[in-house]
């Protein structure tokens, strides 16, 4: 069971201090402390091994180092796909496989090489890479805060410390069982000898939805509108050049040189599906949530324009109320306010990301970043 001694100790200290001034404040902090004790039983393992992906190599061999380290991946991924990939998705995947050379180009070659190296059939590997665009065909995940179903995934928080340092936390929520979670990996992307960026992803995936460029910016992606209507997603890809969301994240990381260029690219890149793109930079005030439709931004929510010291995004437009069945947003706000800007740090942000329902049984991994300090850590979460 993962514990949060740092945050609990801070809440206790703040409760004691403020109780001398305002009894009502102490009562509210005690209530938050009780919420903090409502945890999900999760085992947490920090990732320490990083795999190299060199984009100067032939596309079919860029992920060889990764796949050779996981000889059982094909068997486990096939079993997972047979359990969770709906039959309705098969015709869509067949179209993608047939058009992999003409529609997907270089990234199609990467998928081909990945499939050959791992021994996984190409159709299953393609389906995994398009899991977000296909997700409406699959079952909903259990909800987080009241009985029912929800289709949410992920929480991202960007915050500014009192000294101006930006920190960024992210939980990835999906429906991976424990058997697949060991395939969560750290990857370093290179162009020859030049280091480009680092991210966290899953074996078999060529894209990235969580990554950072040391000294410059960090990025995470949260689902919007359950991935969008499937027909619209694939028509956008075929006729308008919309990029699947996970690969769009990689494009941003490869092409952007700093926070401002990343923010611009996140707002303008043609996407296959709606998404939230959350970023933190290396300078004070550099934090944003870009709410995207396929063709254009719906909203760009900049930390510098809010008067607040943090932004939190789950899976709903920030100007709309979160649904009662999945109100991770308001719990996250309460937990961030309880910490306070004077105490926010890499450690206490990690603590917030570890509190229920921000962390729940569907949380596969947690990451924390501090771009200006070139700090990035990734942790895999396992249900007990």
Q: What is the pLDDT of residues 117-153, one digit of tens each?
A: 999 999 899 888 888 877 654 544 555 665 444 445 7
Q: How far apart are CA 300 and CA 267, in angstroms?
A: 8
- The residue from 67, 117, 154, 288 that is catalytic is 154
pLDDT recorded at residue 146: 58
Summarised one tens digit per residue, pLDDT across range 213-237 is 999 999 999 999 876 556 556 666 6
Q: CA angle, 222 as apex, 164 and 70 as ends, to 5°?
A: 105
pLDDT recorded at residue 141: 53
Q: Provide the pairing of β-strand 363-370 with 310-313.
A: unpaired
Across the beta sheet with 184-191, what order do the strands follow?
Answer: 50-54, 184-191, 194-202, 210-213, 217-223, 275-281, 287-292, 297-302
pLDDT recorded at residue 127: 85
Q: Could you confirm whether 154 is annotated as catalytic?
A: yes
State mean pLDDT over 347-374.
96
Q: How far apart are CA 97 and CA 85, in angstroms?
A: 16
Burial 307-336 (b: 16+ CB within 10 A, else e): eebbbbbbbbbbeeebbeebbbbebbebbb
Q: What is the secondary structure of 78-97 as a DSSP string?
A: HHHHHHHS-GGGHHHHHHHH
pLDDT recorded at residue 228: 57
For the record, the structure tokens of 315 come out as 């899976």
Q: How confident is the model at residue 84 (pLDDT cuts 50, 70, 90)?
A: confident
pLDDT recorded at residue 103: 74
State mean pLDDT over 150-177.
89
Peptide bond preceding 271 in cis form (omega within 30 of 0): no
* Adjacent-strand bridge partners of 367: 170, 378
Q: How confident is the model at residue 14 (pLDDT cuts 50, 70, 90)?
A: very low
Provide the phi-psi class of 329: left if phi over 0, else alpha when psi is between -120 and 50, else beta. Answer: alpha
State mean pLDDT over 371-384.
96
Greatest mean pLDDT range, 6-20, 41-55, 151-165: 41-55
Cβ contact 153:173 at 8 Å:
yes
- pTM exceeds 0.85, yes or no: yes
Q: What percent of the chain has pLDDT over 70?
A: 79
Q: How confident is the model at residue 30 (pLDDT cuts 50, 70, 90)?
A: very low
């Amino acid at each position: 069971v993962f514990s949060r001694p740092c945050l609990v100790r801070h809440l206790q200290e703040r409760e004691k201090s403020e109780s001398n001034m305002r009894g009502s404040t102490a009562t509210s902090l005690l209530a938050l402390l009780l919420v903090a004790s409502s945890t999900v039983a999760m085992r947490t393992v920090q990732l320490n091994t990083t795999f190299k992906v060199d984009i100067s190599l032939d596309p079919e061999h860029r992920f060889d180092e990764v796949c050779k380290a996981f000889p059982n991946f094909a068997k486990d991924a096939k079993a997972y796909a047979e359990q969770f990939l709906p039959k309705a998705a098969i015709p869509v995947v067949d179209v993608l496989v047939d058009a992999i050379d003409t529609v997907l180009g270089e990234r199609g070659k990467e998928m081909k090489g990945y499939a050959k190296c791992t021994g996984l059939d190409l159709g299953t590997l393609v389906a995994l890479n398009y899991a977000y665009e296909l997700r409406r065909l699959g079952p909903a995940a259990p909800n987080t805060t009241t009985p029912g179903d929800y289709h949410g995934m992920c929480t991202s928080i960007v915050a500014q410390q009192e000294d101006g340092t930006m920190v960024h936390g992210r939980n990835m929520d999906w429906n991976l069982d424990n058997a697949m979670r060991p395939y969560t990996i750290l990857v370093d992307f290179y162009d020859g000898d030049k280091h480009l960026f680092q991210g966290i992803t899953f074996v078999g995936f060529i894209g990235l939805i969580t990554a950072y460029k040391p000294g410059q910016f960090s990025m995470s992606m949260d689902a919007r509108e359950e991935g969008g209507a499937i027909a619209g997603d694939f028509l956008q890809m075929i006729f308008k050049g919309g990029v699947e969301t996970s690969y769009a994240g990689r494009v941003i990381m490869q092409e952007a040189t700093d926070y401002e260029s990343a923010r611009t690219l996140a707002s303008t890149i043609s996407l296959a599906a709606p998404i939230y793109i959350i970023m933190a930079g290396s300078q004070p005030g550099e934090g944003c949530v870009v709410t995207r439709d396929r063709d254009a931004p719906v909203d760009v929510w900049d930390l510098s324009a809010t008067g607040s010291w943090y932004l939190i995004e789950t899976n709903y437009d920030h100007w709309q109320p979160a649904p009662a069945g999945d109100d991770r947003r308001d719990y996250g706000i309460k937990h961030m306010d309880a910490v306070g800007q004077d105490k926010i740090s890499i450690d206490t942000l990690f603590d917030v990301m570890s509190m229920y329902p921000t962390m729940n049984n569907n949380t596969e991994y947690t990451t924390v970043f501090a771009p200006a300090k070139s700090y990035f850590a990734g942790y895999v979460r396992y249900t007990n």
